């Protein structure tokens, strides 16, 4: 893997939810770097701030403090509309647990959508969609609709849609949460292969240590903070990730 430069610098992000008389610190001074071509897994207990982090990184939520800086990005205020929408469209690919495909569109139309929104030329779109269909192994399914596909195939379409614009970052929230063990491993092997070939930077939220072993690095969240970190080395990763995660779970009790 080439790790030359920082694609995303997250600095001192704090997000406080204010309720009647009480405050919840969903994120407390969170800082980390995501490198070009790197896959980071975010693991953490429920309520530790994982979804809040993804929302902030996607400019769907504005932090109370701190900043995120994207490689090659000018100094625009990304958290305010209409900048936030533009920022997302240009820079972020999403993969959701529930696939979130548009059911009335075909496989190829779903994949083409981000390019259409960006206003790319039809010829260029067709070319990119063709090669993406090959990458995800669904060329024969291009005219099908999501409902005609298996869960694994649907998630492949969602991955194709997220990667089609070669966005600086791809964000995934429990992307294999609706898939069985074998399909999960198949999808993750393919995703890591694509990530390597495209040198794609990704951030994946997961509660599954098996999923985290596919990452280059695991950040452990607890109470809105990064409390531990693990660099995957290829052997014993699952044991090391599990024992770190168990420690965090125990601290919680
Ligand atoms: P995770 O995704 O790790 O389970 P979240 O980011 O969803 O955690 O939540 C972090 C904390 O912020 C939790 O204590 C949660 O209850 C709180 N929280 C999340 N969203 C809101 C909201 N819209 N209003 C108030 N509190 C929230
Ligand atoms: Mg969540």
Using a pLDDT cut of 90, give the percent of the chain over it: 81
99 Cα to the center of ligand 2, angstroms: 16
Distance separating alpha carbons of residues 35 and 5, to the nearest angstrom? 6
* Mean pLDDT, the chain, whole residue set: 92
Burial 62-74 (b: 16+ CB within 10 A, else e): ebeebebebbeee
User: Residue 52: nearest ligand to its CA?
Assistant: 1
Task: Over range 179-183, report the average pLDDT.
Answer: 92
CATH of the domain at 123: 3.40.50.300
Query: Measured from the CB, is residue 15 less than 6 Å from ligand 1?
Result: no
Given a cut of 60, whether residue 2 has pLDDT beyond it is no
Q: What pLDDT does 253 receive?
A: 52
Tokens linked to 63: 């932090």
- Nearest alpha carbon, ligand 1 atom 20: 52
Query: Measured from the CB, is residue 200 less than 6 Å from ligand 1?
Result: no
Query: Measured from the CB, is residue 47 less than 6 Å from ligand 1?
Result: yes
Lowest mean pLDDT among 71-75, 97-101, 160-164, 195-199: 71-75
Task: Over range 143-153, report the average pLDDT.
Answer: 96
For 76-108, the pLDDT digits (tens) are 688 989 999 989 988 999 998 888 999 999 999
pLDDT band at 3 (very low <50, low <70, confident <90, very high): very low
Q: What pLDDT does 1 receive?
A: 44
171 Cα to the center of ligand 2, angstroms: 13
Task: Give the residue numbers spanning the domain of 178.
Answer: 3-249
253 Cα to the center of ligand 1, angstroms: 19
Query: Measured from the CB, is residue 182 less than 6 Å from ligand 1?
Result: no
Residue that the structure tokens 């993969």 belong to: 95
CA 40 to chain CA centroid, nearest Å: 9
52 Cα to the center of ligand 1, angstroms: 6
Tokens linked to 24: 């919840």
How many distinct structural domains can be found in the chain?
Answer: 1
Given a cut of 80, whether residue 73 has pLDDT beyond it is no
Is-contact 28 223, C-beta < 8 A?
yes
Query: Measured from the CB, is residue 49 less than 6 Å from ligand 1?
Result: yes
Task: Over range 121-146, report the average pLDDT.
Answer: 96
Distance separating alpha carbons of residues 204 and 219, to the nearest angstrom? 10
Strands 217-222 and 225-231: antiparallel
């Amino acid at each position: 893997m080439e790790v030359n430069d920082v694609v995303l610098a997250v600095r001192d992000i704090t997000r406080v939810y204010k309720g009647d008389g009480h405050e919840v610190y969903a994120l407390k001074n969170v800082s980390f770097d995501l490198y070009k071509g790197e896959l980071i897994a975010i693991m953490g207990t429920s309520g530790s701030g994982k979804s809040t982090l993804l929302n902030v990184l996607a400019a769907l939520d504005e932090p109370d403090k701190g900043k995120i800086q994207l490689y090659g990005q000018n100094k625009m205020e990304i958290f305010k509309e209409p900048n936030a929408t533009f920022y997302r469209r240009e820079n972020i690919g999403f993969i959701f647990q529930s696939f979130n495909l548009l059911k009335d569109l075909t496989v190829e139309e779903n994949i083409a959508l981000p390019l259409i929104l960006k206003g790319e030329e039809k010829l260029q779109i067709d070319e990119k969609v063709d090669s993406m269909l090959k990458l995800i192994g669904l060329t024969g399914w291009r005219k099908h609709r999501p409902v005609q596909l298996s869960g694994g195939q649907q998630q492949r379409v969602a991955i194709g849609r997220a990667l089609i614009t070669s966005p600086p970052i791809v964000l995934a929230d429990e992307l294999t949460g609706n898939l069985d063990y074998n399909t999960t491993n198949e999808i993750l092997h393919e995703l890591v292969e694509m990530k390597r070939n495209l040198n794609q930077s990704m951030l994946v939220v997961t509660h599954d240590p098996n999923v985290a072993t596919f990452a280059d690095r695991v950040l452990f969240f607890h109470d809105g903070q990064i409390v531990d970190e693990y660099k995957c080395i290829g052997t014993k990763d699952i044991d090391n990730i599990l024992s770190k995660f168990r420690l965090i779970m125990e601290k919680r009790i």
